[in-house]
Amino acid sequence: MLLVCTVILVALFFTYTNGFHDTANAIATVVGTKVLTPRQAIMLAAVTNLFGAFFGLAVAKTISSGLVDAQFVTQGVLVCGLLAAIGWNLLTWYFGLPSSSSHALVGCLVGAALACAVSMNQAKPLIGKDGKPASIWSAIKWTEVKDKKDKKLVPAPPGVLAALGDSVKTNGTHTVLVGTNKVQVVAFCGRTAMVETVNKPGADKGGIFYKVVVPMFTSPVLGFCMGFVFMVFLYILLHKWKPLTVSRVFGRLQLFSSAYMGFGHGMNDATKCMGIITLALVAATTSGIFADLPSWASFLVTKEGSSPFALTLGDHIVSVLPSFLQFDYMPVPADVKSQGIPNWVVVLCALTMAAGTAAGGWRIIKTMGHKMVKLQPVHGFAAETTAATILAVAGSLGMPVSTTHVISTSIMGVGCAKRFSALKLGVVERIIWAWILTIPVTAGVAFCLVWACMHVGILTLPK
């Protein structure tokens, strides 16, 4: 029980460091263009980070069950991995390098699980779930290709509505019997829709390769190209405008793009440690640690494969808005086979990320907002809009992409659209080296830490 609490506290500390380390990602451009003061920008980022964390938990589900095999993850292994990630965050923050907290967490999780597998294999040969000898690499889910059930919402026919009955007044995903068939129906604020499922063989691609490696290379390229193209489009559109008018208009618009960037950052980054905490709770529940819990602590029990909550906290927020502000919003249908993230974990991580964001990260803000390229409001608007869109799409797909990579390359693309000489290549080179080193260094440190702790008896092997 003590170890579980330690994991939660260390995970929250990582979320806090992630907040002040990555604050610059959300607000560097709006500070660099002097649209907002650093204090105003930080408060805007903290609030939008908080709301972004309530919408979309796909990244949390990827971290909790999509990267490593849970049998090689114990509370102690998670603590070691998180400590390595925190160390990397603090080191790169100290030197003002906008490295990726997302990739640091992934690297540490992989390195820690692999060290546990190596130690277990030295004690006795590993046996897979199929009863056959297994490699130490089985600790890592490199690729997973499964059939995907694509769910979409369609108008509910009268027969389905009749079967739903009074349940239409209860928001969430309902299963009703129509004849001999079970049908899922989503009800939300008086609106209803039937869930139509389409089977797509081999369409669900998971694992580190598809969820981390591919986005790691494609998201920076997309950020650079989209930032460049968007900025060129704005140059063509605004070439007859007076510079003062452009600055005034885009100074106001950048408030919205900065808020959008903060929302995307919260949606992608704040959810990562939700996955880590859920992974720890699942491991503790499975191993029997929570068998004798008092009734007041029963909220800690989290079973693998348990049904997720019918509504996310974001859905609840939308439900209290006036109907004209809901824009016919409908929740994502609940997946009964997916690992749910407990609501208390969502709230705790979101508040911690917001608190870390409010603490600020002045060194990295200086690098990204001033040293890479001199920005005007129109450039900040283009970079933030580009990066936030990529983050929102990746977050909805469960890809823990680097906020740092995306906003940095968006700034580079915008700067190159201005003129290639506007980009300060010396600073860019330092940033790229930090990107390249993050995953191997953090994985190596986490591996060594777990391996050493197991060999001196601080950590024990999983049973």
Q: Which residue pairs, CB below 8 angstroms and at least 24 apart, start in 325-333?
A: 326/189, 328/191, 329/188, 330/153, 330/186, 330/188, 330/191, 330/193, 331/171, 331/172, 331/173, 331/186, 331/188, 332/151, 333/151, 333/153, 333/173, 333/184, 333/186, 333/195
Looking at the domain assignment, is residue 62 inside a domain? yes
> Is pLDDT above 50 for 309?
no
Looking at the domain assignment, is residue 192 inside a domain? yes
Looking at the domain assignment, is residue 462 inside a domain? no
The helix (H) or strand (E) run that includes residue 8 is helix 2-32
Report the helix count and the strand count for the chain, using DSSP H and E: 17, 4
What's the domain range around 6? 2-455
Higher-confidence position of 180 and 23: 180
Nearest to 265 by CA among 39, 8, 55, 40: 55
Nearest to 116 by CA among 82, 68, 84: 68
Residue 367: per-residue pLDDT: 53
- Report the chain's mean pLDDT, rounded to a whole number: 79
225-229, 244-248, 306-310: the lowest-pLDDT one: 306-310
Looking at the domain assignment, is residue 463 inside a domain? no
Alpha carbon distance 327, 104 (integer Å): 37
112-121, 174-183, 269-278, 435-444: the lowest-pLDDT one: 269-278
Rounded to 5 degrees, what angle do the CA atoms 269, 274, 278 make?
Answer: 155
Alpha carbon distance 278, 61 (integer Å): 9
What predicted TM-score, i.e. pTM, was given to this entire model? 0.76
Instruction: Check: CB of residue 254 under 8 Å from CB of residue 384.
Output: yes
Beta bridge partners, 239, equal none
Q: How many domains in the chain?
A: 1
> To which residue do tokens 């024990």 refer?
460
Residue 282: per-residue pLDDT: 75
> Is pLDDT above 90 for 230?
yes
Looking at the domain assignment, is residue 461 inside a domain? no
Q: 424 exposed, middle or buried (CB, 10 Å; 0-12, 13-18, 19+)?
A: middle
Whole-angstrom CA distances from 39 to 30, 217, 376 are 11, 33, 19
Instruction: Check: CB of residue 398 under 8 Å from CB of residue 271.
Output: no
Nearest to 171 by CA among 344, 310, 308, 306: 310
pLDDT in tens, 14-23: 888 877 766 6
pLDDT in tens, 363-397: 555 555 445 556 788 888 998 899 989 988 888 77
Alpha carbon distance 227, 412 (integer Å): 8
Token readout for 122 is 């030295």
State CA 178 to chain mean position distance. 38
Close Cβ partners of 223 (under 8 Å, ≥ 6 residues apart):
386, 387, 390, 405, 406, 407, 408, 409, 410, 412, 413
> Is pLDDT above 50 for 308?
no
Task: Give the pLDDT mean for 10-37.
Answer: 75
Q: 377 — alpha (psi -120 to 50), left (phi > 0) or beta?
A: alpha
Looking at the domain assignment, is residue 173 inside a domain? yes
Please provide the DSSP assignment of 330-384 as one string.
-PPPP-TTSPPPPHHHHHHHHHHHHHHHHH--HHHHHIIIIIS----HHHHHHHH
Residue 448: per-residue pLDDT: 93
Alpha carbon distance 372, 377 (integer Å): 15
Looking at the domain assignment, is residue 407 inside a domain? yes
SS3 state at 418? helix
Residue 428: per-residue pLDDT: 66
Residue 369: per-residue pLDDT: 47
Looking at the domain assignment, is residue 315 inside a domain? yes
Whole-angstrom CA distances from 360 to 148, 297, 376 are 41, 34, 22
Q: Which range has the top average pLDDT, 45-59, 128-142, 208-222, 408-422?
A: 208-222
pLDDT in tens, 398-457: 787 877 778 878 888 888 887 776 566 665 676 677 677 888 889 999 999 999 998 888
Helix axes 377-396, 58-65, angle to 10 degrees: 50
> Is pLDDT above 80 for 244?
yes
Alpha carbon distance 365, 36 (integer Å): 13
The helix (H) or strand (E) run that includes residue 149 is strand 144-154
Residue 233: which pLDDT band, with cuts at 50, 70 and 90? Answer: very high
Q: Which range has the top average pLDDT, 48-57, 95-104, 151-160, 430-439?
A: 151-160
Percent of the chain clearing pLDDT 70 (strictly above): 84
Token readout for 307 is 């049904």
Instruction: Check: CB of residue 133 under 8 Å from CB of residue 173.
Output: no
Token readout for 238 is 């605004």
SS3 state at 402? coil
70-79, 90-99, 209-218, 410-419: the lowest-pLDDT one: 90-99
pLDDT in tens, 107-155: 998 999 999 989 888 888 887 766 777 888 888 888 877 777 777 888 8
Instruction: Check: CB of residue 167 under 8 Å from CB of residue 221.
Output: no
